[in-house]
Amino acid sequence: MTGNVNGQVVMEESGQPLEYASIFVTQGAGPAPDIAPLTDHQGRFMLDGLPEGVWTLHALGSAGETGESTIRVMADSRITVIIPVRKQ
């Protein structure tokens, strides 16, 4: 069973969306899927078909900004997540 994720990457200090950040599934309830969507101009991204379980999502911006969030995916559900990032 799988679920879907709607997310947004924002700068931690300002709350401004971060475009062109790569999203990686780094840990989870099984092998990490081989997908790495990019955020759009509003910092938004989608991950469809993520297997059920707890997963860690890592965001990496084009200027080295990084952050992560942990989510729980339920079968046939849509999860919303915000990943705050900061410059390194």
Q: Which position has the higher pLDDT, 46 or 88?
A: 46
Domain ranges in the chain?
2-85
Q: Which CATH class is domain 2-85?
A: mainly beta
Q: Which residue has the tokens 């990686």?
A: 24
* Per-residue confidence band for 86, with pLDDT thresholds at 50, 70 and 90: very high
Q: Is the pTM of this model over 0.85?
A: yes
The predicted-structure confidence for 31-84, as pLDDT tens digits, reads as follows: 777 888 999 999 999 999 889 999 999 999 999 999 999 999 999 999 999 999
d(CA 67, CA 46): 17
Segment 14-35 mean pLDDT: 90
Contact (CB, 8 A) for 8 and 47? no
Among the listed residues 3, 1, 6, 27, the one whose alpha carbon sits nearest the alpha carbon of residue 83: 6
What's the pLDDT at 61?
97
